[in-house]
Amino acid sequence: MANVNVPAGKGMRGGKRAKAPMKTLGRLLKYAFSRNKVATVFVVFFVLLASVANVTAASRVSEIISRLLDYKPENHAAFMSNEMHTVYMNIIIMGCIYFVGAASAFTYNIIMMYIAQGTLKKMRNEMFEKMQYLPLKYFDTHTHGDLMSLYTNDVDTMRQLLTQTIPQIISSVITIVAIFVFMVMYSVTLLFVVLLIIVAVFCLTKFIGGRSAKNYVIHQKALGSLNGYVEEMTEGQKVIKVFCHEQKAREGFKKLNDNLNEVGSKANTYAFILGPVNNNLGYIQYVLVAFVGIMIIAFGKEIGLLSIYCSVQKADVANRVAVMAGMMVSFLMYSRQFNMPVMQVSQQFNAIVMALAGAERIFEMVDTKPEDRGGDITLSYGEYEKDKWAWKKPLVGGSYEYIPLMGDIRFKDVVFGYTDEKVILKNISLYAKPGHKIAFVGSTGAGKTTITNLINRFYDIQSGEITYDGIDIKSIRKDDLRRSLGIVLQDTHLFTGTVMDNIRYGRLNATDEECIEAAKLANAYFFIKHLPDGFNTVIKGDGANLSQGQRQLLAIARAMVSKCPVLILDEATSSIDTRTEKLIEQGMDKLMEGRTVFIIAHRLSTVRNSNAIMVLEHGEIIERGDHEQLISQKGKYYQLYTGAFELD
């Protein structure tokens, strides 16, 4: 199988911002909230309630301060009985309002957590489900690190956006609007001072935040490279130790780690600067507002509720000062509250950039065109004839035609390349009659495995035709086509689970007895019985606790239990010693009775009894025939067979 190498991060456009941020944001919000409409309404309600409560509570302070400043010793008794009662009531009311705000904030955060977790769960499910239907070409052109990053880093940015950023932005916007209204009512002059500082905050946020976001994207890419390197080095520890490359591995890690440290320092430097700078600007604003406020009180000139209130009440100078001082204190509180949501919005800038970039990568994968499911001809067992396989072809009118599955596979002038620019197979024509054993030999890269990949329709040919029992394989549904093929791949992969589970993977409804019988045929029964828990021994780490030969024996047993009419053995015995191979061949001879078998082998001793041997070189069949015929031709096969029993 070809593996097109793609630099880390390129396949998923790692290291880039979202191309269409607003479109992506709209799709993400629709994805999250359209499925939770009732919960979303509650979130908006409680966010609104929390924001308004926090703003409204501060307005009670002006009343409290005004009452206290209006105290006169000669009216002490009346003040304590009347005015202090009002002060106490305002304090109680303010406490209740803050409690409502805190309870509302707690409630909407809990609801948002459930919305976010439900959204991420559904997103991961859809991603994984979609991944099952993507063509192999997609995995050839996207690194494993990129794909893993979708489920980890990118999904985590979605979690932060949904649980923290979006509620905080909504709350901040509502708070800003409410506070702005109150500040306009209190003092237009002081509001102008606040807005000057806010403009400075926005300018600094744009300047510093832009550089921070750029460096954070680079940081994510560097982190992905480091994680990929650690994963690769962990899996390759045996190879590292065999070749004594520990020092080289450390140097490689140090280089990536130093790079991560450098870009991480730049990213975090800008991010950490932004908060303190904005915070200190807030303090400067506080001082300026207090200073201008004192001037207003001293000179008594103001546009806003302060002057209107005092003129309507026709209050004396002392009373006017008390009222204005109370409102001034409230305004100072509002100015601090006004800064906080503004800074919160600015601090969420990086989170939004990263989340939208991650969401775009996720949606890109979800939107990828799935693998063509093939035609409408399906596979049936026992419908046409008891214990027999047949192709079920739909006819006009709703009836079906049954075509017995014989295992007759033919290639006619097949041309194929993993890319249009590079042709791998050139005008391949061959046939495999039912029950025949067809072997492919040739050097690495000759096209042997590619031929079997085309039978499975892992890839589609550029021209020519491949038929299966006289049916163009494009007319057969892919699931059914592959269900008819038992495969032992060159790269054995075992899943986390018991030995029995891994054998049963070939046919999920196989009984324990059938799995045990398949293990005996594959000559895997002996070593399985000597495992700690026999067939119930748990395999982890892709069979790290088994030898390569044992792993391959389990793969052969898995293919045997599938009872497929056609078998493909891609270097099935490459990791098995000669003695074990002889024993396996005896079992496989029974398995292959009446079945069409394709064998790919470097070890020529395994293909001697094949009905036909195809010798490939540079994507072309240069010789064909059985063992005796090829030996008599004294061509390439003869040279390989007499010179060495293994192809280099």
In tens, the pLDDT along 184-214 reads 777 777 778 888 877 877 777 777 766 666 6
pLDDT tens digits, one per residue of 209-229: 666 666 766 776 787 778 778
Single out the residue of 381, 401, 397 nearest to residue 389, CA to CA: 381
Could you give phi then psi for residue 603, rounded to 5 degrees?
Answer: -80, 105
Answer yes or no: is 418 within a domain: yes
Specify if 378 maps to a domain: no
Query: Using one digit for the tens of pLDDT, what is the confidence trace for 502-550?
Result: 999 888 888 999 999 888 888 888 889 988 899 999 887 777 778 777 8
Q: Is the pLDDT of residue 468 over 90?
A: yes
User: Does the pLDDT at position 575 exceed 90?
Assistant: no
Q: In total, how many domains does the chain have?
A: 3
Q: Judge whether residue 427 has pLDDT over 50.
A: yes
78 shares its domain with 105: yes
CATH of the domain at 363: 1.20.1560.10
pLDDT value for 648: 45
Question: Which range among 368-377, 579-588, 609-618 shows the weakest confidence by mean pLDDT?
Answer: 579-588
pTM: 0.66
- Give residue 608's pLDDT: 81
Q: Does residue 232 belong to any structural domain of this protein?
A: yes
The answer to whether residue 296 scores a pLDDT higher than 90 is no
Q: So what's the pLDDT on residue 576? A: 66
pLDDT top residue among 4 and 130: 130
Claim to verify: residue 451 and residue 559 sit in the same structural domain: no
Strands 497-498 and 566-570 come out as: unpaired
Residues 233 and 258 reside in one and the same domain: yes
CATH code: domain of residue 497: 3.40.50.300
Rounded to an integer, what distance in angstroms lies between the CA atom of residue 560 and that of residue 591? 7
* Last-in-domain residue among 563, 591, 620: 563
| pLDDT digit string, tens, across residues 337-388 | 777 777 677 667 767 877 888 888 888 888 888 888 888 899 988 888 887 8
Asked if 305 and 413 sit in the same domain, the reply is no
**Is residue 588 domain-shared with residue 605, that is, in the same domain?**
yes
- Whether residue 385 lies inside any domain: the answer is no
In this predicted model, what pLDDT tens digit does every residue of 261-276 receive, in sequence order?
A: 888 887 777 667 766 7
Q: Are 480 and 543 in the same domain?
A: no
Quick one: pLDDT at residue 474?
Answer: 92
Taking the CA of residue 370 as centre, how many other CA atoms within 13 Å lie in the half-sphere pointing to its CB? 13
Q: Considering the chain, what is the average pLDDT of its residues? A: 79
Tokens coding 526: 């002996």
Half-sphere exposure of 395 (CA within 13 A, CB side): 7
**C-alpha R_g of the chain:** 37
Residue 15 scores a pLDDT above 60: no
Q: Is residue 325 domain-shared with residue 420, that is, in the same domain?
A: no
What pLDDT shows up at residue 356?
82
User: Residues 480, 377: contact at Cβ < 8 Å?
Assistant: yes
Do 474 and 525 lie in one domain? The reply is no
Q: How far, CA to CA in Å, does 225 sit from each of 240, 353, 486? A: 19, 20, 37
Q: Tell me 576's DSSP state.
A: S
Domain boundary among 548, 563, 578: 563
Domain assignment present for residue 14? The answer is no
- Residue 1 counted as domain residue: no
CA torsion, points 210, 214, 216, 218, in degrees to nearest 10?
Answer: -170
Q: What is the pLDDT of residue 249?
A: 85
- pLDDT band (50, 70, 90) for residue 301: low
In a domain, 610, yes or no: yes
7 part of a folded domain: no
In this prediction, residues 322-331 reach a mean pLDDT of 69
Residues 65 and 41 in one domain: yes
| Mean predicted confidence (pLDDT) in 285-305 | 70
Same domain, residue pair 125 and 210: yes
Mean pLDDT, range 20-32, rounded to an integer: 81
Residues 424 and 283 in one domain: no
Tens of pLDDT, residue by residue over 75-113, are 656 656 666 777 788 788 888 888 998 899 899 889 888
Domain housing 419: 407-484+564-648
Looking at 507, 542, 563, the residue that finishes a domain is: 563
Tell whether 68 and 143 lie within a shared domain: yes
